[in-house]
Structure 1
């Protein structure tokens, strides 16, 4: 099993943001993220989950994230996710080595294949950050992200939320770069199963603790 160490801290609110969750990586990590800033495959030095006001309307997300990172003294490239949820209400869950942190808001849930939904996004994002202490092959990381998404949706359905998610949900998966890479990451693989279990638990905890709210 590889070694992956990181630090998580909380930044206070600033002029154009609320609290910010910060992950700083002490060793190289491999990431796959759906975030608008730093998304895709990467080797990030940091990750931000940025709380923003409900009327947030900036479209220069890269510049905003870079400014917050620089203010923290973070260098190199990173990943940034945004949410109107109060990130101090983050929920954590672990399952057999897989670790997940989730900020959960569902004020505007939507069905993925809703022909009446139209376009756009609204406050109420579910942001998920997951990590495993092993290396995963690129395809396995994609499979694991799908497993986590299915687990998130399962939690929403169990909580009777009328939707498969929100229009602005984001997921980031972090894995070690050390050791042999696991080939599979689907729901019945060892690490895909663990990530699904931890994701389901963290999202469900958030739904139970703050039902239907993005505070």
Structure 2
């Protein structure tokens, strides 16, 4: 077993998210998110939940070009919640088409955080499910679902993929696994978190220990030698 495989096996026991098989590292950054050492790889084979989420999101019924089938004034109940949520999402995106920088991050974080938090075993009947925005509009979701919908919203608003990452981490205060979105803007990496509406620079958050992060171009293993700073 390689050193990287051993690290992943240990981390898999510490957090409730599945960890992938690490391919050949492409780049090592000594001071990354939350002060971690980052090892980058483009081997995405083991990220089934991530790739399956994108497959569902890209189905024709989930695209922004699908015309609204929800009559005006109809109640947003049952499956109609998807279209209601999508219509509201489209309006939000149109309203913020000219927004950028920190103001845009704050707006997206606050908008998505309005949805109720529901854990996957209750919502989907399985331990871990990564929802598309449509599924999030229908059934709400848990931490990675907020982060995914924020990622896709910012992508549609012109934020480059390489500036964003879904981060799987350990919340040292609550002693539980958690997920947030990290976005680089104007030379700073900001954290969009469903637990708070405030958008914070990653260096100001001391109780998160990153495990791995991912976007559409690759993923990063995070190593933290000392959690206290």
> Which structure has greater helix proportion?
2
> Comparing both structures, which one devotes a greater share of its residues to strand?
1
Normalised to the residue count of structure 1, the TM-score between the two structures is 0.28
Question: TM-score of the superposition, structure 2-length normalised?
Answer: 0.26
